[in-house]
C-alpha cells in the first residue's frame, strides 16, 4: 500500500516540466530564464494539488459542461449544420494586477477614442475634412450608414466596445481588431466563467482573480441610465436562433434581465419602438442592438436587411438614445483606421495613443496600393471591414505563398480594382501562454478579446475576457477555427470581496432588478407548441409502450392486440402512408403490416411524417430551441436527451423489443422530468398558461381520437375489457381505476373516469376546465361584450362533457353501434383543433405577413 | 424655362396593406440653376405621419407612414420649376483627369467632402476589369476630365441600345456592358463606374426629361417619364451634366430632382409594406413647358 502511494507520487509529472516557450517569443507564464512569473504560482499550486487523473477528469468535465450548456454546439441548432467548436481549457490565462492597470487605461482610452471618432463622422466630419482619416476609407465602407448622420446619443455612440489583442514578440500588446457593432460575444465570457468555476471553482478561488458580476451591474446601471426612467423596459435585439451568436445573445439577455426580441417582435409606431405582446403593443425604452447596423431597417438602410423593425432609423432620429450601440457604430471596426489613430488621438483627446494597432495599410491609398502589389509576397490581404462578432472567426486572409498562380493574379486584380475595401498586413507573430494537456502544460500562441462598456462615469473594462489559441503561421487576426478558449483571469492586489452571487442556470436571478416581464406574442406561440409537442410525444410513447408490452407478454395475440392496433392505426393515419418510409429496423419477423409489432416499429422509426415519434421529438426540440431563453438549463438538458442525434434516438430506431421498453421508459421519464421542472419552476404567468394550454389541448384531443375507434362499436366482452385496460394504461389512470372500483374495467366507469371526472388530471373534463381557467386569466380575454371565439368553443365543449351521462354514452343500439359516444367524441375531436386555431388567431397575429419592399422603376 | 410637372404614382394591392412606410424623393431640389417655384405632394390615404427633411446628400425627402388599412395608394407630386441654362462649358479647358486626385487633396484647404464622396464606387457602380477596359478608350493620358466624360457619353450613346425589357433593378452593370442594352439607370450606373474607377468625381442625377411629340402630333398626357443621368465635377466648372442615354449634355430640358451615388440613394419612391399581396403600379409623368 505504502509503496503504491509513493510510486504514484514519483510518477506524477510535474505540471511544467515540459513547458518550453519557443525562443524569441514572449510567454505569459515563463521568463526567458525559465522561472515562472510569480502571479502564476497560486494557480499552478492549486492545479498541482489535483493528481493527474483528477486534472484529466476535470478537463473532460469542463468540456462536457460546455456541450451541455450549448456554447460549443448549439444544442438546438439544426443538426445538419456544423457545430461551432468551443472548448474551455483547464488552464486560464492570467493577467497580473500591474499589467491590468495599464491595459485597463489603454482600453478605456481606445473606447473613448472610437466613440469620439464616431461622434465626429456622424456629426461634423472634421476628421474627414482635415484628412486625418482619408475620406475614401469612410465613404467606401458599407458600414458607414449615411442615414444615421446626426443621430448622436447623448450617452455616446458606443455602449459596448471590444478589442482583440495579440502580444508581439517584443512583449507589447497590439490591437488586431476592434468590435463596435454589437456586444461581440460578451455572453460567452460569462458562460466560460460559469463553466470553469462550476468544474474547478477551487482553482479560481485560489487565484484571487476579479469576479465579473460588478462589471455587469455597472452595465445594467448604465443601460438604465440611458433610459432616463426607473424600471425601464430594455430589449436585446437578436437576429434569432439561426445566428451563430444566438447563444451569447440569449445568455446575456437572461443575465442582465433584458427581453430577448427579434425584429418581427417589434413595430415602430409613430417614432416609438413598440413590442408586440399578449397585452398588445408595449413601448420599449432601449434596444441593445445585436444585429448588424446596416441590416436594421430595410426602409432607410440596406434594403435587403429585415433584421430590425421597419422605421428604426426614424425612431432613433427622434430618440437618439434609444438604440445602443448607435446605428452605424461598426464603421470604426475598419482595419484601415489603425495607422491614423495615433494622430487622431492627439487631435481629439490630446493624448498619446497607448495601445497601437498591428501594422496595416489601407489599400485605398494609392501609395499603399502600389506598395502592396510590389510586396505581395510578404503581406496578408484581408477585407478592411468584416463582421467578426463571434470570437475566433476573423478571416485568415490571402497570402500569396498559399495561393495558386490564378488566385494570385485574381488577388492583384482585386487590389487594383477595389483596394479601398482591403488592407495589407504584416504578420506580427503571437506570444504564447500555457494550455493544459494530459502530459502537462504546453505553450501555445494566443490572442485575447477584452470588453468594455460605458458606465456612469466613462468606460469600464470587464476584468476578464476570452483567450484563444491561434495558428501563428496563418493567422493575423483572432482566427481560431478549433475553438480552443481559455478563461481570462485578472488578478487583484486587494483581497477580492466575498463571492457575489453570479447568475446560476436556474429560473430566476436574485440580484437582477428586472422589469415585469412581458410575453412576446411569438414566444407565447412557441410555448403553446412546446406544450403540444411534449404531450404528443408522451402520448405516442405511451401507446407504443403499451403495445410493445403486449407483444412480449401475451401469447393470444389476436384478442389482446386489437386495442394496440387500433390506437397505432389512429396515430399512423394522421400521415399519408408514403410519408412513413419503413426503416431498416423492421425485421422480416415484423413484416406483417397489420401487426402491432410492425406498426409500433413504424411509428417509432419512420423518418418522415408529421406525427411519427421522430418528427414529434424534432419539433419538440425545435420549439424548445426557440423558447430557450425562457427555459432553465435543466429543462434544456432534459429535452436535449430526446434531441436529434441523441444516443436515445439512435438506439430507439434499432433496439430489439426488450431494450425498446427501456428506451420508451427513458423517453417518458424525460418528458415527465420536463413537466416536473416546468411545473415546479415556471412562474404562473401568461407563458405558463400557453405552455399548459398546449399540453391540455393535445391530451384531450388524443384521448377523444382514441375512444371512437376503440369503443364506437361493441365487441365481445373479453376484447372490450382488454381495450379498456389498454386505454386506462395509456391514459395513466389504471391505478386510479383499480383503487376506486376493484373491478375489471367496465365502459361506463372508465368513461366516467377518463371523460367526466374533473378531479382526474388525465380526464377530458380536467383538460377542458384547465383550458377554460387559463383563457379567462389571459390579458385580452374579454374584448367587447361577446366572448371571444376560443372561449365560446370551450364553453360548448365543456358543457357538453359536463352534461354527458355515462350510461347513455356507453349505450349501444341494435347495430352494435354507440352513436352517443361517437357523436360526443367526434364533436370534441373536431372542435379542439378549431379551439387551437382560435387561440392562435387571437393571440399570435398569424395573419401578419413579413414586411416586404416595393419600389418603382422608370 | 418654367415647367409644370405632374408625377402621379398609383399602387394597387391584391390584399389589404396593414402598415406601410415609404421614403420618397419626389420634390425637385433647388440648386444654382434650378429654382422651385411651387411644390405640393398629395397622398391618399392620408398618412399617419409624414416627415419632410433633407437626406444625407441634401435632397428633400418625405418619409411617410400609413397605419390605416388600405389597398390603394396614390402619390401625386406637382411642381413648378424654373430651370436656367448653364453657361457654355469649354470641355477642353478642364483639368487633366489624372491630376484631379492630388488637386482635390490640397493640403492647405479643408477637403471638399461634397465632391470627394462621389469619387468612390457604390453598390451599383462597382468596377470590373471589363468596365475599366471599356472606359480606357475615353480616358487617354492628358485628356481634360470633361472632354473624357463627353467622349464616354457619346460612345455609350453609340454602343448601347435603349431596351426596357433587357434589364430590371437587380441587373448588374457588368451584364449591361455585356449585352449593350438597358435603360437610363443602367447607362448612368455604368458611366459612373467607368469614371469613379478612375477616381473622377461623378454623381447620379434623378429627374425628369421634357419630351417633344413628333412633328404635327399632339403630346400625349402622362407620356413623359422619370429619367436619370450623371454629373461630373471639374475644378474649373463644378458639376456638369452628361446624359449617356441620349448622348447629350443636358441644358434646360432636364429637370433634376435629386443627386446621389446611385439609384438606391435617390429612388423616387421606395416602401416597405406589411401585407398587400401582389401589387401593380402605374406612373404618369407630365412635363409641361410654360409658354
CA distance B247 to chain A (A): 19
Cell of A274: 413598440
The pLDDT score that the predictor gives to residue A50 is 92
Q: At what angle do helices A647-654 and A657-681 cross, to 10 degrees?
A: 150
CA dihedral A104, A26, A376, B99 (to 10 degrees): 40
For B174-225, what is each residue's pLDDT tens digit? 999 999 999 999 999 999 999 999 999 999 999 999 888 878 777 766 667 7
DSSP secondary structure letter of residue A577: G
Q: What value does the mean pLDDT take over residues A577-585?
A: 59
Those residues with Cβ within 8 angstroms of residue A354's Cβ, 6 or more apart along the chain or in another chain? A102, A105, A106, A109, A110
Residue A545, pLDDT > 80, answer yes
Closest CA to A622 of A506, A518, A525, A521: A525
Q: Check residue A517 and give left, alpha or beta (phi > 0: left; psi -120 to 50: alpha).
A: beta
DSSP secondary structure letter of residue A683: -
For A443-489, what is each residue's pLDDT tens digit? 999 999 999 999 988 999 999 999 999 988 888 888 888 889 999 99
Q: What angle is formed at CA B63 by the lines to CA A237 and CA B37, rounded to 5 degrees?
A: 160
Task: State in Å, rounded, how far the first CA of chain B is from the last one.
Answer: 9
Flag residues of chain B having pLDDT under 70: 101-107, 220-223
Instruction: Give the ranges where A503-556 is alpha helix by DSSP (H).
Output: 521-553
Closest CA to B202 of B146, B158, B131: B146
Q: A368 with A424: CB under 8 angstroms?
A: yes
Please indicate if any CB of chain B lies within 8 Å of the CB of A305.
no
C-alpha to C-alpha distances, A586 to A43, A579, A595, A653, B33, nearest whole angstrom: 56, 16, 12, 9, 84
For residue A443, the SS3 value is strand
Secondary structure element (H or E) that encloses residue A421, with its range: none
Tell me whether residues A128 and B283 touch, CB distance under 8 A.
Answer: no
C-alpha to C-alpha distances, A151 to A348, B10, B56, nearest whole angstrom: 20, 33, 12
Q: Which residue has the higher pLDDT, A572 or A163?
A: A163
The ipTM assigned to this model is: 0.95
Please name the member of B101, B128, B264 whose beta carbon is closest to the beta carbon of A303: B264
C-alpha to C-alpha distances, A572 to A163, A543, A565, B12, B139, nearest whole angstrom: 56, 12, 10, 46, 73
Q: What confidence category does residue A510 fall into, taking pLDDT thresholds of 50, 70 and 90?
A: very low
| Dist CA A317 CA A20 (whole Å) | 57
Please name the member of A147, A418, A855 whose beta carbon is closest to the beta carbon of B56: A147
Mean pLDDT is lowest, of A435-444, A542-551, B36-45, for A542-551
Residue A507, pLDDT > 50, answer no
DSSP secondary structure letter of residue A321: G
| Dist CA A539 CA B140 (whole Å) | 80
Cell of A835: 379551439
Within 10 angstroms of residue B222's Cβ, the number of other Cβ atoms is: 13
Which DSSP string do the residues of A469-500 spell out, in sequence order? Answer: E--TTT-SSSB-TT-EEEEEEEB-SSPPPSPP
Q: What confidence category does residue A854 fall into, taking pLDDT thresholds of 50, 70 and 90?
A: low
Closest CA to A212 of A496, A483, A506: A496
Q: At what angle do helices A562-572 and A596-605 cross, to 10 degrees?
A: 30
The pLDDT score that the predictor gives to residue A668 is 95
Q: A721 with A730: CB under 8 angstroms?
A: no
Residue with cell 415527465: A672
The pLDDT score that the predictor gives to residue B106 is 63
Please indicate if any CB of chain B lies within 8 Å of the CB of A796.
no
Interface of A with B in 144-183 (CB under 8 A): 146-147, 149
Name the most confidently modeled range: A237-241, A497-501, B148-152, B208-212. B148-152
DSSP secondary structure letter of residue A425: E
Q: At what angle do helices A789-802 and A819-844 cross, to 10 degrees?
A: 160
Q: What confidence category does residue A514 fall into, taking pLDDT thresholds of 50, 70 and 90?
A: very low
Tell me whether residues A856 and B268 touch, CB distance under 8 A.
Answer: yes
Sign of CA dihedral A315, A316, A320, A325: positive
The pLDDT score that the predictor gives to residue A554 is 57
The pLDDT score that the predictor gives to residue A504 is 39
Closest CA to A220 of A455, A412, A8, A540: A455
Give exposure, A243-277, as e/b (b: 16+ Cβ within 10 Å).
bebbbbbbbbbbbbbbbbbbbbbbbbbebebbbbb
Residue A7, pLDDT > 90, answer no
Taking contacts as CB-CB distances below 8 angstroms, the residues of chain B near A366 are 101
Tell me whether residues A131 and B111 touch, CB distance under 8 A.
Answer: yes
Tell me whether residues A417 and B197 touch, CB distance under 8 A.
Answer: yes
Secondary structure element (H or E) that encloses residue A110, with its range: helix A97-121
Of all residues in chain A, the percent with pLDDT exceeding 90 is: 60
> Which residue in chain A has the smallest CA separation from B127?
A417
The phi, psi pair for B71, rounded to 5°, reads -120, 10
Tell me whether residues A128 and B120 touch, CB distance under 8 A.
Answer: no
The phi, psi pair for B200, rounded to 5°, reads -90, 125
| Dist CA A302 CA A142 (whole Å) | 9
Please name the member of A135, A146, A303 whose beta carbon is closest to the beta carbon of B111: A135
Those residues with Cβ within 8 angstroms of residue A735's Cβ, 6 or more apart along the chain or in another chain? none
Count the residues in chain A: 858
Interface of A with B in 372-401 (CB under 8 A): none
Please indicate if any CB of chain B lies within 8 Å of the CB of A684.
no
Q: Which residue has the higher pLDDT, A395 or A827?
A: A827
The pLDDT score that the predictor gives to residue B40 is 95
For residue A766, the SS3 value is helix
Tell me whether residues A139 and B120 touch, CB distance under 8 A.
Answer: yes
Tell me whether residues A418 and B127 touch, CB distance under 8 A.
Answer: yes
| Dist CA A243 CA B138 (whole Å) | 47
Tell me whether residues A855 and B279 touch, CB distance under 8 A.
Answer: no
Q: Which residue has the higher pLDDT, A267 or A494?
A: A267
Q: B71 with B37: CB under 8 angstroms?
A: no
Residue A42, pLDDT > 90, answer yes
Peptide bond preceding A325: is omega within 30 degrees of 0, i.e. cis?
A: yes
Q: What confidence category does residue A849 fall into, taking pLDDT thresholds of 50, 70 and 90?
A: low
Q: What confidence category does residue A556 fall into, taking pLDDT thresholds of 50, 70 and 90?
A: low
Tell me whether residues B272 and A135 touch, CB distance under 8 A.
Answer: no
Rounded to a whole number of angstroms, the CA Rg of chain A reads: 32
Cell of B180: 449593350
Task: State in Å, rounded, how far the first CA of chain A is from the last one.
Answer: 93
The pLDDT score that the predictor gives to residue B103 is 54
DSSP secondary structure letter of residue A588: G
Residue pairs spanning A and B at CB distance below 8 A: 119
Taking contacts as CB-CB distances below 8 angstroms, the residues of chain B near A420 are 120-121
Those residues with Cβ within 8 angstroms of residue A465's Cβ, 6 or more apart along the chain or in another chain? A189, A448, A449, A450, A451, A488
Q: What confidence category does residue A578 fall into, taking pLDDT thresholds of 50, 70 and 90?
A: low
Taking contacts as CB-CB distances below 8 angstroms, the residues of chain B near A298 are 272
Taking contacts as CB-CB distances below 8 angstroms, the residues of chain B near A418 are 121, 126-127
Residue A6, pLDDT > 50, answer no
For A810-822, what is each residue's pLDDT tens digit? 999 999 999 999 9
Q: A304 with B270: CB under 8 angstroms?
A: no
Please name the member of B56, B120, B283 whose beta carbon is closest to the beta carbon of A146: B56
Mean pLDDT is lowest, of A415-429, A571-585, A666-680, B196-210, for A571-585
The phi, psi pair for A362, rounded to 5°, reads -80, 125
Cell of A284: 420599449
Mean pLDDT is lowest, of A90-104, A115-129, A548-562, A788-802, for A548-562
Does this model's pTM top 0.80? yes
| Dist CA A151 CA A149 (whole Å) | 6
C-alpha to C-alpha distances, A756 to A279, A750, A778, B113, B115, nearest whole angstrom: 34, 10, 25, 79, 81
Q: What value does the mean pLDDT take over residues A639-650?
A: 85
Residue A3, pLDDT > 60, answer no
For A247-305, what is each residue's pLDDT tens digit? 899 889 988 989 999 998 999 988 899 998 887 889 999 999 999 999 999 999 998 88
CA dihedral A489, A495, A498, A503 (to 10 degrees): -20
Cell of A9: 507520487
The pLDDT score that the predictor gives to residue B30 is 95
Taking contacts as CB-CB distances below 8 angstroms, the residues of chain B near A128 are 111, 113
| Dist CA A719 CA A734 (whole Å) | 17
Taking contacts as CB-CB distances below 8 angstroms, the residues of chain B near A849 are 274-275
CA distance B111 to chain A (A): 5
Please indicate if any CB of chain B lies within 8 Å of the CB of A815.
no
Which residues, listed in sequence order, are joined to residue A555 by a DSSP beta bridge? none
Tell me whether residues A136 and B120 touch, CB distance under 8 A.
Answer: yes
The pLDDT score that the predictor gives to residue B277 is 83
Peptide bond preceding B45: is omega within 30 degrees of 0, i.e. cis?
A: yes
Which residues, listed in sequence order, are joined to residue A380 by a DSSP beta bridge? A399, A425
Strands (E), A278-429: 280-283, 286-289, 323-324, 356-357, 360-362, 380-383, 398-399, 422-425
Tell me whether residues B56 and A314 touch, CB distance under 8 A.
Answer: no
Amino acid at each position: 500500500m505504502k509503496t503504491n502511494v509513493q510510486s504514484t507520487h514519483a510518477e506524477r509529472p510535474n505540471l511544467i516540466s515540459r513547458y518550453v516557450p519557443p525562443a524569441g517569443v514572449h510567454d505569459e507564464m515563463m521568463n526567458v530564464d525559465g522561472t515562472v512569473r510569480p502571479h502564476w504560482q497560486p494557480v499552478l499550486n492549486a492545479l498541482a494539488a489535483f493528481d493527474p487523473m483528477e486534472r484529466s477528469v476535470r478537463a473532460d468535465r469542463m468540456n462536457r459542461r460546455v456541450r451541455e450548456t450549448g456554447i460549443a454546439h448549439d444544442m438546438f441548432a439544426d443538426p445538419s449544420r456544423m457545430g461551432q467548436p468551443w472548448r474551455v481549457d483547464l488552464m486560464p490565462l492570467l493577467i497580473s494586477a500591474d499589467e491590468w492597470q495599464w491595459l485597463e487605461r489603454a482600453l478605456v482610452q481606445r473606447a473613448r477614442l472610437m466613440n469620439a471618432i464616431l461622434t465626429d463622422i456622424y456629426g461634423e466630419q472634421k476628421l474627414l475634412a482635415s484628412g486625418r482619416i482619408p475620406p475614401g476609407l469612410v465613404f467606401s465602407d458599407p458600414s458607414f450608414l449615411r442615414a444615421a448622420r446626426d443621430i448622436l446619443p447623448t450617452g455616446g455612440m458606443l455602449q459596448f466596445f471590444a478589442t482583440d489583442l495579440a502580444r508581439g514578440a517584443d512583449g507589447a500588446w497590439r490591437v488586431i481588431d476592434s468590435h463596435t457593432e454589437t456586444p461581440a460575444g460578451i455572453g460567452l465570457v460569462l458562460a466560460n466563467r460559469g463553466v470553469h468555476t462550476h468544474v474547478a471553482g477551487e482553482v479560481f478561488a485560489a487565484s484571487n482573480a476579479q469576479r465579473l458580476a460588478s462589471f455587469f451591474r455597472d452595465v445594467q446601471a448604465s443601460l438604465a441610465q440611458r433610459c432616463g426612467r426607473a424600471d425601464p423596459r430594455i430589449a436585446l435585439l437578436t437576429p434569432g436562433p439561426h445566428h451563430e451568436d444566438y447563444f451569447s445573445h440569449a445568455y446575456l439577455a437572461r443575465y442582465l434581465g433584458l427581453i430577448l426580441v427579434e425584429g418581427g417582435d417589434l413595430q415602430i409606431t409613430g417614432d416609438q419602438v413598440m413590442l408586440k405582446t399578449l397585452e398588445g403593443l408595449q413601448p420599449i425604452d432601449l434596444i441593445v442592438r445585436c444585429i448588424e447596423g446596416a441590416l436594421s431597417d430595410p426602409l432607410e438602410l440596406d434594403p435587403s436587411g429585415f433584421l430590425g423593425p421597419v422605421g428604426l432609423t426614424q425612431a432613433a432620429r427622434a430618440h437618439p438614445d434609444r438604440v445602443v450601440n448607435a446605428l452605424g457604430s461598426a464603421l470604426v471596426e475598419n482595419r484601415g483606421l489603425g495607422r491614423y489613430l495615433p494622430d487622431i488621438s492627439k487631435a481629439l483627446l490630446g493624448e498619446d495613443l497607448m495601445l497601437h494597432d498591428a501594422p496595416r495599410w489601407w489599400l485605398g491609398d494609392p501609395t499603399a496600393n502600389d506598395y502592396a502589389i510590389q510586396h505581395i509576397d510578404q503581406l496578408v490581404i484581408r477585407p478592411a471591414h468584416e463582421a467578426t462578432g463571434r470570437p475566433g472567426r476573423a478571416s485568415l486572409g490571402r497570402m500569396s505563398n498559399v495561393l495558386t498562380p490564378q488566385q494570385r493574379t485574381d488577388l492583384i486584380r482585386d487590389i487594383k480594382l477595389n483596394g479601398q475595401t482591403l488592407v495589407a498586413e504584416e504578420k506580427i507573430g503571437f506570444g504564447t501562454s500555457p494550455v493544459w494537456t494530459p502530459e502537462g502544460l504546453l505553450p501555445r500562441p494566443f490572442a485575447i478579446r477584452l470588453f468594455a462598456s460605458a458606465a456612469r462615469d466613462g468606460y469600464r473594462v470587464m476584468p476578464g475576457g476570452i483567450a484563444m489559441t491561434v495558428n501563428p503561421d496563418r493567422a493575423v487576426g483572432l482566427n481560431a477555427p478549433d475553438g480552443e478558449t481559455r478563461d481570462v483571469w485578472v488578478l487583484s492586489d486587494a483581497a477580492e470581496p466575498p463571492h457575489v452571487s453570479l447568475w446560476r442556470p436556474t429560473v430566476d436571478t436574485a440580484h437582477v432588478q428586472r422589469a415585469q416581464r412581458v410575453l412576446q406574442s411569438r414566444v407565447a406561440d412557441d410555448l403553446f407548441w412546446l406544450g403540444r409537442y411534449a404531450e404528443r410525444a408522451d402520448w405516442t410513447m405511451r401507446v407504443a409502450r403499451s403495445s410493445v408490452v403486449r407483444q412480449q407478454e401475451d401469447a393470444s395475440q389476436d384478442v389482446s392486440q386489437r386495442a394496440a392496433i387500433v390506437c397505432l392505426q389512429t396515430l399512423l393515419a394522421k400521415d399519408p402512408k408514403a410519408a412513413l418510409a419503413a426503416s431498416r429496423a423492421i425485421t422480416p419477423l415484423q413484416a406483417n403490416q397489420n401487426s402491432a409489432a410492425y406498426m409500433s416499429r413504424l411509428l417509432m422509426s419512420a423518418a418522415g411524417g408529421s406525427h411519427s415519434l421522430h418528427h414529434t421529438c424534432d419539433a419538440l426540440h425545435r420549439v424548445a430551441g426557440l423558447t430557450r431563453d425562457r427555459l432553465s438549463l435543466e429543462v434544456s438538458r432534459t429535452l436535449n436527451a430526446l434531441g436529434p442525434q441523441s444516443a436515445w434516438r439512435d438506439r430507439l430506431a434499432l433496439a430489439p423489443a426488450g431494450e425498446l421498453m427501456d428506451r420508451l421508459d427513458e423517453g417518458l421519464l424525460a418528458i415527465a422530468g420536463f413537466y416536473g421542472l416546468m411545473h415546479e419552476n415556471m412562474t404562473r404567468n401568461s407563458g405558463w398558461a400557453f405552455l399548459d394550454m398546449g399540453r391540455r389541448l393535445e391530451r384531450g384531443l388524443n384521448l377523444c381520437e382514441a375512444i371512437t375507434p376503440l369503443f364506437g362499436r361493441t365487441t365481445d366482452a373479453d376484447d372490450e375489457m382488454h381495450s379498456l385496460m389498454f386505454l386506462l394504461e395509456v391514459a395513466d389512470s389504471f391505478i386510479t381505476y383499480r383503487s376506486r372500483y376493484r373491478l375489471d374495467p367496465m365502459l361506463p366507469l372508465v368513461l366516467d373516469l377518463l371523460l367526466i371526472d374533473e378531479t382526474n388530471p388525465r380526464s377530458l373534463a380536467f383538460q377542458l376546465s384547465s383550458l377554460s381557467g387559463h383563457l379567462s386569466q389571459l390579458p385580452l380575454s374579454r374584448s367587447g361584450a361577446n366572448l371571444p371565439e376560443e372561449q365560446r368553443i370551450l364553453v360548448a365543449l365543456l358543457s357538453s362533457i359536463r352534461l354527458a351521462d355515462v350510461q347513455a354514452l356507453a349505450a349501444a343500439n341494435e347495430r352494435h353501434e354507440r352513436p352517443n359516444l361517437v357523436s360526443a367524441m367526434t364533436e370534441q375531436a373536431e372542435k379542439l383543433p378549431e379551439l387551437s386555431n382560435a387561440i392562435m388567431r387571437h393571440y399570435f397575429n398569424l395573419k401578419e405577413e413579413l414586411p416586404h419592399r416595393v419600389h418603382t422603376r422608370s | 424655362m418654367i415647367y409644370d410637372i405632374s408625377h402621379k404614382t398609383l399602387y394597387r394591392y391584391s390584399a389589404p396593406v396593414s402598415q406601410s412606410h415609404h421614403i420618397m424623393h419626389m420634390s425637385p431640389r433647388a440648386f444654382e440653376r434650378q429654382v422651385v417655384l411651387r411644390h405640393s405632394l398629395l397622398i391618399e390615404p392620408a398618412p399617419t405621419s409624414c416627415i419632410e427633411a433633407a437626406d444625407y446628400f441634401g435632397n428633400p425627402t418625405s418619409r411617410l407612414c400609413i397605419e390605416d388599412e388600405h389597398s390603394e395608394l396614390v402619390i401625386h407630386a406637382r411642381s413648378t420649376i424654373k430651370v436656367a441654362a448653364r453657361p457654355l462649358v469649354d470641355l477642353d479647358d478642364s483639368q487633366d483627369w489624372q491630376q484631379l486626385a492630388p488637386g482635390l487633396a490640397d493640403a492647405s484647404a479643408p477637403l471638399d467632402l461634397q465632391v470627394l464622396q462621389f469619387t468612390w464606387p457604390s453598390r451599383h457602380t462597382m468596377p470590373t476589369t471589363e468596365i475599366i477596359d471599356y472606359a480606357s478608350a475615353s480616358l487617354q493620358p492628358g485628356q481634360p476630365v470633361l472632354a473624357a466624360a463627353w467622349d464616354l457619353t457619346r460612345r455609350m450613346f453609340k454602343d448601347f441600345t435603349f431596351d426596357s425589357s433587357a434589364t430590371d433593378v437587380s441587373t448588374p452593370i457588368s451584364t449591361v456592358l455585356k449585352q449593350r442594352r438597358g435603360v437610363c439607370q443602367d447607362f448612368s450606373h455604368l458611366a459612373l463606374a467607368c469614371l469613379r474607377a478612375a477616381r473622377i468625381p461623378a454623381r447620379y442625377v434623378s429627374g425628369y426629361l421634357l419630351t417633344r411629340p413628333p412633328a404635327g402630333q399632339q403630346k400625349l398626357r402622362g407620356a413623359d417619364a422619370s429619367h436619370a443621368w450623371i454629373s461630373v465635377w471639374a475644378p474649373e466648372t463644378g458639376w456638369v451634366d452628361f446624359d449617356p442615354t441620349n448622348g447629350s449634355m443636358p441644358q434646360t430640358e432636364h429637370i433634376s430632382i435629386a443627386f446621389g451615388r446611385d439609384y438606391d440613394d435617390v429612388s423616387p419612391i421606395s416602401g416597405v409594406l406589411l401585407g398587400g399581396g401582389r401589387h401593380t403600379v402605374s406612373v404618369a409623368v407630365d412635363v409641361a413647358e410654360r409658354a
